[in-house]
Amino acid sequence: MERLRNKLNRLSAKWPASRSTSPVPEVHGALEGESVASEQPHIESTTVHISERLWNQAYDHLQRESFGTIVDTYEKILSRYLQTDSSFEASIISSDHATRWEQMKRLTSKGLENTAKDSSQKQKVNEWLELSKPLREAVGAGLKAVPQAAVPWAGICCALEKLLLFQMKSVILYHRNRLAVFMRDLPKVDDWAGHIKEIKEAEKALGVDSNQYNTLEMRTNLQELSSTAKEHAQWQRKDRLDDLDNECLTELRVTNPQKDRNTIVDAKGGLFYDSYRWILENEEYKQWLTGSENNLLWVKGDPGKGKTMLLAGIITELEKSSPESVFYFFCQATEPRLRTATNVLRGLLWSLVRTRPHMFHHVRKEYTKEGKGAFSDSNAWQTLCAILIVILEEEDLVQDCVFVIDALDECTTDRDQLLRFILRASTSYKAKWIVSSRNWFEIEKRMDGIQKKARLQLEMNAAAISDAVKKYITRKIDELDAENSYSESTREEIQNHLLANADDTFLWVSLVCDELGKPDVMPHHITTVLKSFPAGLEKLYEKMVEKINGSRDKDLCKAVLGVVVVAYRPLTLAELGSSDSMLDKLSQDTNMLSNIVRSCGSLLTIRGDIVYTVHQSVKDFLRSSQEVMGRGLAQQHYKVFLNSIQAMQKGLHRDLYAINDPGALIDGIESPESHSLNSLQYACIHWAEHFHEGFLELSELQYTSTFDLISTFCKEKYIYWLEAMSLLRCASEAVKAVQKLKIDIVSNEILEI
């Protein structure tokens, strides 16, 4: 008995009322006919409330079961006792839990006083009664602290019922006729030993349940701690993996094709649905899209026919139904990062793994094996091809993919290599491909080797293209009219001229409308301006150059056009000024220089502070123009080289950024927004390439002066040039430049470095 008392006292102390602030649990089963509120205003009263309710529930349960007679007898005795006991204000059995428990205690104590000489076992009843209170409190505290406690505490509730039954029988015993009781005890009619045994068994079961519960709880807590530790370790590993993944993606990224598309579309005036809607009903396109025979769609046509905007429209429509299945790359010959076969694959792969991360492990595997440079070194093409082929082999995952490559003719580096890859990918795997190009023989020859392809030649769809161009003309006239408020006759004049001379060429319409939209063109100038633009792109470009020759700034305009034609990338206005001696005088006044660029008509355009040709066909035309190139491409390259090395000789010096720390790491150095090196950037990176393209046609006198110039530069500025290349993050390009320079010089047996 004492052992059980101590155990339950410890159990009660384990859940003090002030320990938990958990909400009151909902006890299922244990509290029949009652619902426990989910929220109580006072935590301590909640604990007592639940424990007493449990006691009361045990009391009522005995009355409903087969022990109802015993409970009724007990209550009759209690009623008689209450009528004679003046200490109780009420003479009825209380329904209040606490009062009813107190009544039982008083009645039992009275019985013990009357039977003080009875056996020691019977004298322990009062101890059992006192014992039930901490038991109830422990139950209540346990339920309060642990919402899931209803099930493990069922054993305690059962023990509580047995204790109450024992107490009631004891009360009945104490108030019976003593002789009758004595006689009943002799044969053990009331089986007190059995009751005591049941209580001890309940105590034992309670102890076992308690140990099991505590063991289970401890094990659960340990498992939770272990799981938490494992999760923490996984999070740490994931963080490290995320860092490596981000590093890998950064190395893979060469451009963002989505931003490239948006830039191109914006530069062309935005996407016009009516200019490409015809393709959606085209039979070749629909068969390619829905069928399985042809995985490659080749869109080809002459310059200015709208191939790029057509593909941009197709991408837009495909993305409406399957936004995560279209991956594309827009080649541009004027942009170094957009004109190599390796970069095309890098762009497609970067978009693919960002959209479908479950494929990224293929990229990570190669990056982990090869390290930095895996996607940019001399073996990058093989690495990228291998990754894409492995991904394409997972046909269930990529059969809905569409890969789009625009302007294949503007992929100037390793184009044939890219074509061979497209041939293999489109014939061996389920993913679909769209490519566009001009009508070039070398591309045609390679495409003829692809069996599973659909050919869509724009010139063969003249009616559809003509209708699209008409709608485009109407749109452009509406835009001009909104700014200039044309009369109906002026609108009609413009429309008739454009329809008659456009030759189903979007670019031609765009160039003419750009001229009409210039601020200095008034409505009464319209007729003159329209007549100055002949039909066809070639003749239009010739007319624009002829107009330049008649201007006062023709020499400056030709200087700009000459530099733009041979430049390896679009130049900033500041770089343009450093690339020609005539333009150098204007390099400090970018507004003046931008006015000269605009004087070149619609051949050039300025976006931001960067000068572009309006179309690749413009650059192709200017390359062969005697009016612009003078003595040829080689001489123009030599001019750019000469001006570049002179600009570097004048502008390079020690500690360009005034860091004053020879050991500074490049990653910790930020490039100033405005610095003289910005205007020298193109010259520093590309001077050796221009020398390579121009030195073969030099005269003997030019050879001597040129190599004297290079020798002086290497002696006086070489170390500063290396510093500049480092600051520009182009150290590897510096190594290539020196190697190329050495080959050029040694090959002519003039000078050895």
Burial of 521 (0-12, 13-18, 19+ CB in 10 A): middle
Domain residue extents for the chain: 2-224, 257-460, 466-540, 550-630, 633-753
Longest dimension (CA), the chain: 148
Architecture of the domain whose range is 550-630: Orthogonal Bundle (1.10)
610 DSSP β-pair partners: 572, 607
Nearest by Cα to 52 from 13, 107, 95: 95
The pLDDT of residue 418: 96
Structure tokens at 10: 């410890």
Condensed to tens digits (0 to 9), the pLDDT of residues 559-574 reads 999 999 999 999 999 9
Indicate left, alpha or beta for 118 from its phi (over 0: left) and psi (-120 to 50: alpha): beta
The pLDDT of residue 445: 87
Q: Which residues of the chain have pLDDT under 70?
A: 1-55, 63-68, 78, 80-98, 100-101, 105, 107-164, 167, 171-203, 205-219, 221-241, 450-452, 747-753
Integer Cα distance of 610 and 642 in angstroms: 22
Angle, CA 586 vertex, CA 584 and CA 587 arms, to 5°: 65
Integer Cα distance of 654 and 720 in angstroms: 6
Q: Structure pTM?
A: 0.65
CB neighbours of 393 closer than 8 A, spacing ≥ 6? Answer: 429
Which amino acid would we find at residue 549? N
**Cα separation values, 316 from 267, 273, 440, 573, Å:** 17, 10, 27, 34
Chain centre to alpha carbon of residue 547: 50
Nearest by Cα to 9 from 137, 188, 171, 154: 137
The pLDDT of residue 190: 53
The pLDDT of residue 34: 40
Integer Cα distance of 44 and 714 in angstroms: 89
The pLDDT of residue 213: 60
**Cα separation values, 359 from 341, 343, 354, 376, Å:** 22, 19, 9, 20
- Phi/psi for 354 (5° steps) reads -70, -35
Condensed to tens digits (0 to 9), the pLDDT of residues 678-723 reads 899 999 999 999 999 988 777 777 788 888 899 999 999 999 999 9
The pLDDT of residue 744: 81
- Helices 154-174, 43-64: axis angle to 10 degrees equals 60
Nearest by Cα to 301 from 453, 439, 409, 408: 439
Integer Cα distance of 637 and 689 in angstroms: 9
Nearest by Cα to 80 from 110, 122, 57: 110
Integer Cα distance of 99 and 102 in angstroms: 5
**Cα separation values, 346 from 87, 327, 398, Å:** 95, 11, 17
Sheet with strand 453-457: strands edge to edge: 326-330, 402-406, 432-437, 296-300, 453-457
Integer Cα distance of 584 and 550 in angstroms: 23
Residue range 257-460, CATH number = 3.40.50.300
